[in-house]
Structure 1
Amino acid sequence: MTGAVIGLCASSGVLLLVSGWLRTRRPALDQRVLPYVRDVHPYVPVGAPTGVVSAVFGPSVRRAGAAIGDLLGGSASVSRRLVRLGSPMTVDDFRIRQVAWGGAGLAIGVVVSIVLWSARDAAMPMLLVICAVGLVGGVLWCDSALSSQVRSREAQLQAEFPVVADLLALAVAAGESPVAGLERVMRVCQGQLSYELGQVLSDIRTGTPMAAAFDRLASRTGVASIARFAEGLAIAVERGTPLVDVLHAQAADVRESGRRELMEVGGRKEVAMMIPVVFLILPVTVVFAFFPGYIGLHLTSGM
């Protein structure tokens, strides 16, 4: 084991030396050009980490993230999910996070392999497979966690939409403009949908036409009801159709859709719901029904 650790450290050092020598021998284009235009485009971006750890391991981690992106593909899918999540994270940042999760999975696999090797003297191929499974599992788990966060946020948007639509309809019915109604809704509501509407208001205040701002909301969200709401609001503003009826109708449609989804989920879970009824509630009910008679029979036989 000591020889294996020494060999690993020595090989890692040799690989670092070779990779560093290759980087200095063939610098990238940005490394050759950016020092001459540092006053126009600084080489180190504002807010980027400049510590020793980042300087030493940052390039390697970024290259590993790029390799994972090239291997898995799906950068467009990751970008869409990040936009739907409303996250400021870029695709490169997400790949770096995948590298970190993969490293954590590899570390867990190495620990498990060491325990198996020391306790049961397991075969080396099986230990390598465990380490590889830990690495791949960490990378895929990070991607699955992103998808889970997107689904959770979209469910929250779906739940918040009817209330926001009714409040906006009340504000517009009271004589306020759609922009003023959105500002009033923003003041009284908190949540993910309020954050999205805040981005719409920011776009409108910066000079974006109202219809274009709502079109952006429809394009970046993954919830069909909110996309219909944004498109309907944009069309109503452009054509001058009454907004109150449109908003009330959309809120009623979302509530009815929620009821249908709840009934469908209940229908799919009907068999699963029978498990606690058959194996937990029914036996307890039988025991409570027959236990007094059982005690009475014992008392009668004793007399």
Structure 2
Amino acid sequence: MLEIHFSQTGQLTQVMDHLVQPLVDQPGVTVERQCIEMVQPYPFPWPFFRFFDEFPETVAFVTPDIKAIDAAGPYDLIILGYTPWYLSPAPPVVAFLQSERAAALFRDTPVVTVTACRNMWLMAQYRLNKLIRGLGGRLLDRIVLTDQGGTAATFITTPRWMFTGKKDRYLGLFPRAGVAEPEIEGADTFGRRISQWLESETSTGDTTRPIANPDPNPPNPMLLLGEFMGLRSFMIWGALIRLCGRQGRWTRVPIVLFYALFLACAVVVVLPITMVSLLLLRLVPAFRRFHNKLVDRVVS
């Protein structure tokens, strides 16, 4: 089997280390591990302007150059680790999935996706699923580990982590940024589930049966509308910003900074109004059933 991922902060690498350990220890299973690496790595921590200047290309799937992936295949299973950037899969992951190598590896191969991120991952998963299915991959399951603290808290802790590199508790009010350490270490639970699936697949030949996933972070229906509106905003403004020049050009500075201010205002004002409106609508049983089905369709 193949485990491949991209991690800028190193958090997802920790998750994958724990997840694959039961598979590495399983007799008869060969685990090939690959890390998607960029030709010119992103900075971390991020400079403020560079961080926001990244989103137009991210949502448009304009990808950076990555180093060649030395994976021969075929594989019985691919475990793909990714992180959401601007409600989309991170650009290096998209670059890999757009490559000829990925087209050969994923065709007719079972795939499990893994992410460790804020709790707004629905649209990124939707876009990732489309890419994998476009390659002919067979999605079996998803594993999602989310940051400690609620949606409001991570609007503070995640940017602080990205801009300063600091993950510790903040002001005595906000939790540490990122996924809690016990949850990262507990990722081996999923590895054992995958190990059981591999044993069953070997004995029965059934590669279409989903892996029994004790999902600790099921999709949150309340966040879907906000994510959809956010992605639409990123795409519209991203297209406008790209008309102002290439990434890093001074001609993009004014509009990128304006959008960063607009985005902060939208998070403070528009998102809460949207959430309250959706909460009221979900009191209507027919709308709640429709909304839940829509969420399932997005992430399936």
Q: Highest Rg: 1 or 2?
A: 1
Instruction: Give 1 or 2: higher strand fraction.
Output: 2
Task: Indicate the structure whose relative CO is greater, using CA pairs within 8 Å and at least 6 residues apart.
Answer: 2
TM class by smaller structure: under 0.3
Per the normalisation by structure 1, the TM-score is 0.22
